[in-house]
Chain A
């Protein structure tokens, strides 16, 4: 598993000076960072290059609110987000922050503080070679393109819903290990009263999309009373 420093970040902010600072700082810390003034360009980049390990997003983007950009990214998978918020923003929507972001900083901020916060967020997430390529070939049957919310079973393309993309992303990130039901509920439906039966229904739908025979699943295995595991050979 690579260290945090080799992880890929994107930063989206309309302040070019700040983007330069973010680029230089995180590069000198060993991260691989791409910066964007335009959220649409950022989304295009992600769809072309695969999901980043983390996104730094300014809440007040001219073309698109930071929450909207976050929703677009979160529909592709379980991407951790850190918001950069303006000092003069009138009402901080705390509920929006906790819905989308793992953490935030308010301008003006100490760049070292931001680096420490990013490191902490990344330390909570497992890493996997399965998630950060544009198209992940699992085997001859299954290939996954999370950034475009689709996969191929055999030669047949299949569209994933945002919930299915998130479930698959989390399972792939932990491929080979069991992910508990509680973890999946907390990541996919944060701060919502969703129960294990809802998760089972979505997992059933996901299996129907990826498994050659969903009644005898080979990719996603159930660990009764614990959670689910994406099988790796």
Chain B
């Protein structure tokens, strides 16, 4: 089953997402620090990265750009998560190379659907 790296600094949300993904059969690695995400992605080679926009250390948008430019065609799909859901915010996420953008609060079903679609591609 696919391996998903979650970067989320709010521990309650991290726990909820982790439980949901693990119960769906995914293997999960979690971090709360933005500075770890790129190196973890390079080292662990997850199948998908789920990335909060507001992280201590480095912002999710910048991390997304780092992953996409640093790993090039080997970069995994990146899903950004944010409470900011205006057109400008979503556009900025896509411009940074994000494969999808989830607006918080989102339902567990929305999360699983988006992940499943990206992993099918």
Contact = CB atoms under 8 A, between A and B. Distances in A.
Nearest to A110: B85
Majority DSSP secondary structure for residues of B touching A: helix
Contact of B94 (A94, A98, A111, A116): A116
A119 interface: yes
B116 interface: yes
Majority DSSP secondary structure for residues of A touching B: helix
Given A110-B103, A112-B85, A120 B94 contact: yes
Nearest to B115: A94
Interface of B: 85-88, 90-91, 94, 101, 103, 109-110, 113, 116-117, 120-121
In the A-B complex, list the 6 residue pairs whose CB atoms are closest, starting with the nearest: A112-B87, A116-B90, A116-B91, A120-B94, A110-B85, A112-B86
A232 interface: no
Contact of A94 (B90, B91, B116): B116
A80 to B, nearest CB: 15
Given A94-B120, A112-B86, A113-B101, 20 more contacts: A92-B109, A94-B113, A94-B116, A98-B117, A98-B120, A98-B121, A110-B85, A112-B88, A112-B90, A113-B87, A113-B90, A113-B103, A116-B87, A116-B90, A116-B91, A116-B94, A119-B91, A119-B94, A120-B91, A120-B94
Contacts, number: 38
Contacts of A110: 85-86, 103
Contacts of A117: 90
20 contacts: A92-B109, A92-B113, A94-B113, A94-B117, A94-B120, A95-B120, A98-B121, A110-B86, A110-B103, A112-B85, A112-B86, A112-B87, A112-B88, A113-B87, A115-B87, A116-B101, A119-B91, A119-B94, A120-B91, A120-B94
